[in-house]
Structure 1
């Protein structure tokens, strides 16, 4: 093509009136340089509504999971429960028996532990100073079931009052309680003996996950008398089993409200 002809073509292209392009179609134009310019108007951003549902919605309890599921699932939606990760995942646009689908619209239940559960399990097996142990009991009175929170408060206050004492021994009584023998060290009462009696075990009520049911756990009193004084703590009985049971109950609550089998595992 001669320079004159190219100039005429360029002038014609530059002076051509603008053309309206229709969304939802694909266009290609020859540029003055001889290349091809492509315009893709088929994307969702050019449409009034998206072509399909996509994205993962994360919820924190079974009730929210069921609400979203009810709104968006179809007959081919799938649900998976992972007991190790404590998650329930729904693939709302899962593959059908006759063909593939995108599997891009998902619902994810990620359970979150309550503050009380985390605090009790964090202190499991740890020995504390007697005043720290007393403060811990006072801070967690709502979770104390047996003995009652009022009785445990009295025990906590007794430990706080017995700071200036020298604990000598601990004896397990036939009633299942633990009795601590001590000698006063305060100037006004030096040498005076006394004792504190506390339960060997106590029962607490904890909700493992936000929005889940509550469960009873038994805590066994732990102690050590040494040069640094009396140390106290507790040992929870099978907290991991309670946690697994709580998750299984969440999965059961979901399974009872949907017509789809809950599979054990994770989606692809």
Structure 2
């Protein structure tokens, strides 16, 4: 018996039958096995996004700037197995929306991050922190940032700024600390090369500011002390903010507390795996 010949004839019949079958479109989203003839097969994977038009999984990191945006995105994409991390050093809060669950591993590639930005007012005051400026520059700075002043009032500080601008050509002779902590500066201003006009300017010992450290945060009280330099009859002025780092830490802690109260899991100290 010629078994080899029978096998060849059987395969020929199979090939003819397969050739007679009308071509059929393969359905996207599935893995197909196609017979090529002569006992050969080919696997065709049509599950990728290029075939289905749908990503295989959610991935990427979305950046938001305030708590409300963070919570809104988390409510849409998060679940009970998501994880949230607060990084105090970087001042960021990151949610891993598809974090590993207790039942098994997940991809951990879909993330949400709150990246806080300082307000223009915070940047303005911290830029001049502990810096001395000529009278005119200091007066202009005060005038540009009157809205941030709580104590003394904006009207009082505007009047003081105008006094500094009016005495830029004066020669300051001395300073005296008053009992209430304020400081009096005495000056002489020459008028048409005649006898000089004498006067005093009194500045407060401290300022109290109302500043929002981050966009979307509440305002915080920030104390500042006046600084000055009197050399060669030239007066320079500035402010020294009291522990601005503590204000930033308090603002970040309050933001973390807000998020902690709006997500279903505890916010962890640290950062997620990269």
Partner SS state of residue 252, structure 1: helix
1:55 CA drift (Å): 1.5
CA gap of 1:176–1:21, structure 2 versus 1, over 3 A, is same
Paired residue for 2:84, among 63, 79, 82?
A: 79
CA gap of 1:45–1:66, structure 2 versus 1, over 3 A, is same
Whole-angstrom CA distance in 2 between matches of 1:259 and 1:125? 43
Query: C-alpha offsets along residues 129-153 of structure 1, whole Å, 9 cap, x if unaligned?
Result: 0000000000000001100000000
Q: Which moved more, 1:101-110 or 1:43-52?
A: 43-52
Partner SS state of residue 66, structure 1: helix
Per the alignment, residue 58 of structure 1 pairs with: 63
Alignment of 1:202-241 (within 5 A): 202-227=207-232, 229-241=234-246
CA gap of 1:228–1:56, structure 2 versus 1, over 3 A, is farther
Whole-angstrom CA distance in 2 between matches of 1:100 and 1:218? 50
The answer to whether the 8 A contact 2:172-2:233 is kept is no
Paired residue for 1:160, among 161, 165, 185?
A: 165
Structure number, greater radius of gyration? 2
Paired positions, count: 249
Query: C-alpha offsets along residues 12-39 of structure 1, whole Å, 9 cap, x if unaligned?
Result: xxxxx976343234579999xxxx9986
Alignment of 1:22-37 (within 5 A): 22-25=27-30
Alignment of 1:26-175 (within 5 A): 40-175=45-180
Whole-angstrom CA distance in 2 between matches of 1:264 and 1:250? 13
Whole-angstrom CA distance in 2 between matches of 1:70 and 1:20? 40
The answer to whether the 8 A contact 2:191-2:197 is kept is no
Whole-angstrom CA distance in 2 between matches of 1:228 and 1:155? 19
Considering only aligned residues, what root-mean-square deviation do their CA atoms show, in Å? 2.3
CA gap of 1:131–1:102, structure 2 versus 1, over 3 A, is same
Q: Which moved more, 1:124-133 or 1:249-258?
A: 249-258
Q: TM-score, normalised by structure 2?
A: 0.84
Give the unaligned 5+ runs of structure 2.
Answer: 1-21
Q: TM-score, normalised by structure 1?
A: 0.86
The answer to whether the 8 A contact 1:183-1:190 is kept is no
Give the unaligned 5+ runs of structure 1.
Answer: 1-16
The answer to whether the 8 A contact 1:25-1:40 is kept is yes
The answer to whether the 8 A contact 1:165-1:186 is kept is no
